Amino acid sequence: MIMKKVFTEFRSAILFITILPAGKNVPYSPMGMIKYFPVVGLILGGLLLVFDVTISYFWPPLVVAVLDVIFLVVVTGAFHLDGLGDTADGLFSHRSRQRALEIMKDSRTGMMGLVAVFCILAVKTAGIYSVKTSGTHLQTLALLLIIPSYSRSAMLFGIRFLDYGRKDKGTGLDLFEKEIGLKDFFFVLIPMSISLFLGYKGLVLNLVFFMTLLLVLGFYKKKLNCITGDMLGALNEIMEAVLFLAAGALIVF
């Protein structure tokens, strides 16, 4: 019975933040699936790793880096990118809190959203290219594997430390039914543990992870004093881009 519950929650997490197949008629388990976000990120990283190794036989690093980024967009159904665009439109509209939240709900993407999406994709591409051209083969594989897990782990911190901004509706409302506890962060230890094989560079990568978390969540708190599903998606995209870029710089030293 316990294993069935675990498997259901895990599949629910896969279906929620990716387009990967996880079976049919899977019960939606919002509070149960949250803790598996880092594991789903690890699966995405594993698929990215395999994809990268395969296409590296056919194209040079720059082309591979671009295709790697497109691969991540495709397997996530641009779910988080959509949130990034909506978040940028709302947060940089210079409107009141309520009006900013309304702008985020608008399905149309404005100029700030387009700029944010373009910049994040460009930064990811630059980061992956830097990792591939400066790091060893093992370093590249390790970073491709763990960074998508780190970015999905970041969403747990957003859920834990900020209140949900829409009290009666919204894509992320079900994720805030109750406060998540320390045990829900257990799988965050997976990418952190793997990063230790990178030596001091892994430690620095963890430091960058927590610094980025503090900056983004601090910015959210200052601007709106809350978080939404769109803002969680934006947090994921920002974290992924920052970590790939930071990894590229770390490998050089």
Q: Which domain holds residue 216?
A: 40-252
The per-residue pLDDT for 102 is 87
| 105, burial (CB in 10 Å: exposed 0-12, middle 13-18, buried 19+) | middle
Tell which residue, 228, 147, 232, has the closest CA to residue 190: 147
For residue 221, tell me if it sits in a domain: yes
- On whether residue 3 sits in a domain, the answer given is no
Residue with tokens 């430390």: 161
Q: How many domains does the chain have?
A: 1
Q: Is the dihedral of CA 227, 179, 12, 156 positive or negative?
A: positive
The answer to whether residue 170 sits within a structural domain is yes
Residue 7 lies in a domain: no
| 28 part of a folded domain | no
In three-state secondary structure terms, 110 is coil
Q: Tell me how far apart the terminal alpha carbons of the chain are, to the nearest angstrom.
A: 50
Q: With a threshold of 0.85, does the pTM exceed it?
A: yes
Assigned domain for 46 exists: yes
Give the span between the Cα atoms of 192 and 86, in whole angstroms: 30
The reported pLDDT for the residue numbered 1 is 67
69-122 pLDDT per residue, tens: 999 999 999 999 999 999 999 999 888 888 888 888 877 788 999 999 999 999
Q: Using pLDDT thresholds of 50, 70 and 90, give the confidence band for residue 209.
A: very high
Distance CA 201, CA 250 (A): 6
**pLDDT tens sequence across 153-201:** 999 999 999 999 877 776 678 889 888 999 999 999 999 999 999 999 9
Strand ranges for 58-196 from DSSP E: none
Distances from the Cα of 165 to the Cα of 82, 91, 104, 110, 217, angstroms:
18, 13, 11, 21, 13
Q: Is 76 inside a domain boundary?
A: yes
Residue-wise pLDDT tens digits, 22-60: 888 788 888 899 999 999 999 999 999 999 999 999 999
Confirm whether 160 is domain-assigned.
yes
